[in-house]
Structure 1
Amino acid sequence: MYKVMIVDDEPLFRDYMRSKLDWASHGFRICCEAPNGREALEEASQNDPDLAFIDISMPHIDGLQLAERLKQTHPNMCIVFVTGHSEFDYARKAIRLGVQDYLLKPFNKEEFTATLQRVKQALEDIALASDRTTYSPPKDRIAMEVTDTLSFEAQETIILSLRMREFTAIEDELHRVLQDIRRTDIASDSAHKYLVALLNLCLSFIIESGMTPEQVWGTTFSPEQQLKKFHSWDEAEAWIIELYRKSLRLRENIRPSKSYRLFLSAKTYIRENYHDSELSVEGVAQALFVDPSYLRKVFKKEARISAVDYITYYRMKEAKELLVIGQMKLSTIAEKLGYNDPNYFSKSFKKRFGISPSEFEQLYKK
């Protein structure tokens, strides 16, 4: 049986995980548990678990820090976050740490079973790899570059576009980032790692939206296994794009509410007026005949970002397109985007993407 470690600072939840769930029927047994990250590191050293269920918010060492340390000392260990948090910020870090899956509290036994099935398949794959050769996580330069590329502006663009339900922007960005890795063999570890990162971004959006992975790809389908079956990058790209499309389509069907319709109207107004330097949340609210505080709540509810952040997001999206065209002064671009101060525009761009507008333009030319 595979050994499991439970790490959570709530005694009642540890008791529930230990006594109320049928681990044995799935081929698992609990070998140890810990109330915080420090004790978890000691337990892992003594018991060498195959799987760790970890809460994110804990004292001393949080779940993200613990996952990072465990991956260093136990590279073959599978990790599942069990948490009440469903924010993309956690998911983005988890991608880099190699977290296997997520369970959002409260979860039901069907969700628990589906998670164990996916983890069991992953552990079996690791065992097969170990039989063929000594297993170690891929550390080649291409794999490192892939992770860095995905964690740069691509993640920001995909994340915000998912939240904004802007599929064209998502499709364009997926195509762009997949172009960067097409030089590698589709069956390589580097390619698989890259595709899994994109898969995890989509999975995080599904969870954040109140859906379950099973609603998107069913209870018996294994996305990770599917990724290994592709013979070409065209196949992989088409499948990833369709997965994102289906996730957005299901999300749209969940809540076509009054607040969602207002959210769409506000987005349209911002797109049509982003070049106005006086554009503000108050101005958008006035144009739509609603209270500004209500509009702010709607954006938080529907997109998990503020209305101000969306204005900035859309301006930055347009900025990249203008920079790609080239042959335009920075002051002119800033003015077209509604920025009176080119220096402030540059600072906003660098804060968003990590590089200045001029650096972005040079990188695109290369």
Structure 2
Amino acid sequence: MYKVFIVDDEAVVRDGLKRTIDWREHGFELAGDFANGREVLEVMEHTVPDVIISDISMPFMDGLELAANVTKKYPYVKIIILTGFDEFEYAQQAIRLKVSDFILKPITAHEMRELLRKVKLEMDETARQHEDLSRLYSQLKQSLPLLKERFLERLVVNGLRPSEIEERFQYFGLPPLSPPQLVMVADIDDFGTRQLQPEAANDTEILRYAAYNVLEEIAEREGLLLFRTREERLVLVVSGLADETELYEHACRIAEEGRFYIDKFLKFTVSFGVGQAVGSAEELPVSYKSALSALDYRFLLGKNRVLSILDFESRPSYDNRSRGDWDRRLASAVKTGSLQEVRQLIQQFVADLKESMAPLDACVLQIQKAILSLINTTQELGLDNARPIRLTDVYPFKTLDEIGAWLEDAASSVMSAIADNRNHHTLAQIRKAVEYIETHYAEEKISLQDICRHCLMSTSYFSLVFKQHTGETFVEYLTRIRMDKAKEMLQHTMMKFYEIAGKVGYGDPNYFSILFKKHVGMTPREYRDKYAKESRA
């Protein structure tokens, strides 16, 4: 309900309006009626209406004077002027006083109802707009921390004009930066011994927020700017010291304190990159990029460190020519060397990169070449059974030691696949050799060279793997097959002994008899007689 005051020096007009209008039906509450403007102002000290319907001509204080006083002190109150004076100067003055409506007497009940309907619609719309603005203002207040972070991210990552920096600093109530200043970037190494599942996004977000709180306490104490980037890094802007050396020392102390408390109380580690000092807020992107460059050295030096760009920017340029064939040596060792040899090669490679303090891009290039060499080896040898290896497999790792361990595991997997593949191929060759022997055992001139040519193997390698798979040498296996065939013929045929000898590859019957007795423990005749007796029994 909107509150209404009626102001008119004629009591009959006031009584008529009160009787003929159902105020509540139209959304209004008639909160009072008065004979002049002075009375209204006195009451408005404790009760302020939403609408005043007032005559112009009244004693003590007329309607226009009342409108002037109300508009000055209560600009949100709507004023409707009723008058019997059809004069243009009153209308002009009412417009200047921002009177809501100007209506001539006499006014009918119908006209008053239409007027109230129109006024209510206007006031409802105004109320809705105020509610929308209030809601927007509330949303803006809730969004201010995020808006401040996005502004600081734009300032530090992309850079802004001085005028925009000053305006935004005032808007967010941020303390001004004094030169020199620098940027520090903190990045979580990992979450320690916690076994976080990939879907446990809430857990990781809580841990990240805990790290932010640790740095926030330090930032508030030291008067630093702190924000989070979209890449989940924490960025601090340090300023307020006139000397650059003191600024670097101060920044490193702050970073060391943050690193220590996160490690001690949260049980996981972060690494800090400390960028170069700059002379103005517009140059902060330069400091930010150098802080990221310093943080890249975590890849070589390990986690849980404070890394200053001053420690690395003066190092000599990296020369990778001495490692140009490392990927080929790795591939060769994987194909022909021992696992121990491959591990030593990878460990030496990691140690060389660390010693060289190569930039991250150069390290990544060498690692990618090593991965490609393993991928090419699996494709070249057709290792369908090998574990898939991709260039992106190393992306989750943040240090060279972690990638070195992964390379050792990947190389070991490829070597196991090679060994399995070789065993499978060799087994197929041995089966082929056995089939050849069992088919050609009757040929007197069958030789090791014949079988090796048939199986496409060298005699030395064939002799080695044949003994490994059968437990016998080629000659022992051939002789056993021939003796077994001879025993079958002695048992089931009446062929002469010399005929049997020829059937199993021996042109000399005497030599056959000697070998048979050596292997069976009796002569061919004795073996046939014994079998015949056993059959009759």
Instruction: Indicate whether the TM-score tops 0.5.
Output: no
TM-score (norm 2): 0.24
- Higher RCO, 1 vs 2 (CA within 8 Å, ≥6 residues apart): 1
